[in-house]
Amino acid sequence: MDVMFALLEWFTSFLFNWESRLSVIYLCATVVLVYVLWILRGRSGSFTAYLLPKETYLHKSNLVDIKIFLFNTLLAVSGFFAAVTLTPLMTVYFLDAMLLLTGGDLAPVPGQDDWKKLALATLIMILTLDFCKYWAHRLHHETAILWPFHAVHHSAEVLTPLTANRNHPVFIVIRLFIYGLIVGLIQALMLFLLMGKIDVLTVGSVNAGYFLFNALGSNLRHSHIWLSYGRVLEHIFISPAQHHIHHSIERKHYNKNYGEVFAFWDWMFGTLYVPASYENINYGLSDEEGNRIEQPHPTLRAALLHPFVESWEALWKGTSRDPNLTPDADQTALQ
């Protein structure tokens, strides 16, 4: 009963947590946005069929999405992911190191009218978080040992908002570790040089930025609905259409558009792909020629265990991976 109560409590908080894309507020905003797109695109068929096509939501791939989501939920409720979240510890560690090296004190806490420091701290935090997400994402694509754990996400053959949570626990832990180191360092620098403390307004401003991102179509990034921002804005922000490209099995789309919010990281590091117009996308995994690979993760068991086999094999072959290639086509899934 205690476990069931904990699960219910976590699920309730999850649905009403504005940091989660699957919260009620973002799901409602997504429905409104899709309704507007349905009207603008000619009201083809019923709105329900446009919003929730059976061929997508009853697909076997989506059923695996649900199972992975529930498994990771159990880990979250157990406190496993919280236990490996290092950001607060890293912030304290780096801050203590800076104070020890300089023999100094924290900068004075700014007054309520010191909006410049607040704005600068907010901007630094948003850019740092997104920069971490870009490189954590890219690292998993281009490192042979890590790719199998992220391949679980890319093996999705249809995209729904729940696909965003189709992540292997090892991928989540590694991402948390990277975030902890880099975000912890940047937060310590802000404490030391700018704010004197992590002001509630600073955190709130960062959250407000992600609130806008989530409310204005983030759930369409993993969906059947194409939404492009146009060529100019897609050099600044990653659109849902660009993330569809990222999931494509076509060779020309390999390892493009790693960004979460901002596209200029991809532009800066040569991984940006801006579609000229609508592109019909096939999702899943493919070989070096762009030929679809048979689903390596047809079950929860395969999704959880098979990546360890592939990663172990990659360990003996070397840690680098051709950024233009996906896993070998002859690898078979654990059934």
pLDDT in tens, 46-57: 999 999 999 999
Query: Which residue from 18, 313, 10, 258 is spatially nearest to 139, judged by alpha carbons?
Result: 258
Residues 6+ apart with CB under 8 A from 8: none
Give Cβ neighbours of residue 216 (< 8 Å, ≥ 6 apart): 29, 33
With respect to residue 172, please indicate whether it lies within any of the assigned structural domains: yes
Q: Is residue 227 part of a domain?
A: yes
pLDDT confidence band for 156 (50 / 70 / 90) = very high
Q: Please, which pLDDT band fits residue 185 given cuts at 50, 70 and 90? A: confident
* In-domain check, residue 300: no
In a domain, 282, yes or no: no
Domain assignment present for 285: no
- The number of distinct structural domains making up the chain is 1
CA angle 59, 18, 206 (to 5 degrees): 120
**pLDDT tens digit sequence for 13-47:** 666 676 788 888 889 999 999 999 999 999 989 99
Token output for 6: 């904990």
Structural tokens at position 204: 């709130």
Of residues 239 and 179, more confidence is placed in 239
For residue 124, give the 3-state DSSP assignment: helix
The range of the structural domain enclosing residue 133 comes to: 2-269
- Residues in CB range of 205: below 8 A, 6 or more apart: 118, 119, 122
324 inside domain: no
What number is the average pLDDT over the span 231-255?
A: 95
Q: Please report whether residue 293 resides in a domain.
A: no
Is residue 279 one of the residues assigned to a domain?
A: no
Torsional sign, CA 98, 100, 105, 106: positive
Picking from 334, 330, 292, the residue whose alpha carbon sits closest to that of residue 157 is: 292
DSSP-derived secondary structure letter, 46: -
Local structure of 41: helix, strand or coil: coil
